[in-house]
């Protein structure tokens, strides 16, 4: 009986040591992966990396991790264009869950078989894609998008300042717009057009109310999937396959 108790105690101790070693190893791996991702993606700050699944060490032996979660704050995504016209847009809280992450023996490369995630863009950032300068839409009427906000029910409210010749001041009209993803581009499309008091071609008015923002070169090659307006900005879903984390 005593021998059995000793065996059980040793088993518990060894099990505890294994768990401790496993957690130490996964912590080291998370820090190393975070540093490598920061370097690969050229990030200003080190991302948060969490490796799921237990035990970690047996996953290492198999050469594939079940799940890896990556969190990046304030990611500067490319907006495409030529070298002279290229720009960036700030994406807040980009979080991605990587599944089936295979890595090389020296950990110099890692690729996820699939990935899903979320991100958000503030209305202030999205406003940069709208017409920020006054535009003459005809008859001397000048219009300008001055603000974006949440319009409720998944809509974006677009504030348009309208200046009519002879008027002492401009007036602001609000337009509810739908937001959608098309390829690598977020598009904002007015559900109905503002009444400017004169007959203008729809295309003229939509050249102000409707706009789009390309979002390119997301980490690891993940792509835009869906977008929805929310109180704090537009919420984006992303996804990808054969997503490169490192190397």
Q: What is the per-residue pLDDT for 18?
A: 47
Q: What is the per-residue pLDDT for 9?
A: 47
Same structural domain, 60 and 106: yes
What b/e sequence results for 113-125 when a residue is b if at least 16 CB atoms lie within 10 Å of its CB, and e otherwise?
Answer: eebebebbbebeb
How far is the C-alpha of 29 from the C-alpha of 64, rounded, in Å? 13
Same structural domain, 35 and 111: yes
Considering the domain boundaries, does residue 185 fall inside one? yes
Q: What is the per-residue pLDDT for 185?
A: 92
Number of structural domains the chain divides into: 2
Domain boundaries, position 157: 125-214
Q: What is the per-residue pLDDT for 194?
A: 76
Considering the domain boundaries, does residue 173 fall inside one? yes
Average pLDDT for runs of 10 along the chain of length 247: 49 48 76 86 88 82 87 87 64 92 77 93 88 76 88 93 76 90 93 74 79 87 94 94 83
Same structural domain, 15 and 93: yes
Q: What is the per-residue pLDDT for 99?
A: 92
Task: State pTM to two decimals.
Answer: 0.81
pLDDT in tens, 162-208: 887 777 667 888 899 999 999 999 999 999 887 766 666 677 778 88
How far is the C-alpha of 30 from the C-alpha of 48, rounded, in Å? 8
Considering the domain boundaries, does residue 222 fall inside one? no
Considering the domain boundaries, does residue 199 fall inside one? yes
Q: What is the per-residue pLDDT for 201?
A: 66
Collapsing DSSP to helix, strand or coil, 150 comes out as strand
Considering the domain boundaries, does residue 210 fall inside one? yes
Same structural domain, 138 and 84: no
Same structural domain, 7 and 81: yes
Q: What is the per-residue pLDDT for 16?
A: 47
Considering the domain boundaries, does residue 16 fall inside one? yes
What b/e sequence results for 16-41 when a residue is b if at least 16 CB atoms lie within 10 Å of its CB, and e otherwise?
Answer: eeeeeebeeebeebbeebbebbbebb
Q: Where are the beta strands (DSSP E) in 5-154?
A: 48-51, 64-72, 75-78, 88-103, 110-121, 135-138, 141-152
Considering the domain boundaries, does residue 220 fall inside one? no
């Amino acid at each position: 009986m005593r021998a059995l108790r000793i065996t059980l105690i040793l088993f518990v101790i060894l099990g505890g040591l294994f768990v401790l070693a496993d957690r130490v190893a996964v912590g080291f791996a998370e820090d190393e992966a975070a540093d490598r991702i920061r370097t690969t993606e050229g990030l200003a700050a080190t991302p948060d990396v969490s490796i799921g699944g237990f035990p970690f060490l047996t996953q290492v032996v198999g050469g594939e991790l079940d799940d890896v979660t990556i969190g990046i704050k304030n990611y500067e995504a490319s907006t495409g264009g030529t070298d002279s016209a290229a720009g960036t847009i700030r994406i807040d809280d980009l979080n991605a869950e990587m599944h089936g992450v295979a890595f090389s023996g020296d950990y110099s490369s890692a690729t996820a078989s699939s990935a899903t995630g979320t991100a958000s863009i503030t209305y202030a950032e999205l406003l940069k894609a709208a017409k920020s300068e006054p535009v003459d839409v005809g008859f001397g009427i000048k219009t300008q998008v001055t603000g974006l906000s949440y319009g409720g029910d998944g809509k974006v409210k677009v504030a348009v300042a309208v200046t009519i010749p002879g008027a002492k001041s401009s007036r602001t009209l609000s337009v509810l717009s739908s937001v959608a993803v098309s390829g690598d581009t977020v598009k904002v499309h007015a559900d109905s057009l503002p009444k400017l008091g004169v007959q203008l071609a729809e295309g003229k008015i939509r050249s102000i109310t409707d706009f789009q923002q390309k979002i390119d070169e997301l980490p690891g090659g993940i792509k835009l999937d869906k977008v929805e307006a929310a109180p704090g900005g537009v919420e984006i879903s992303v996804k990808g396959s054969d997503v490169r984390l490192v190397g």
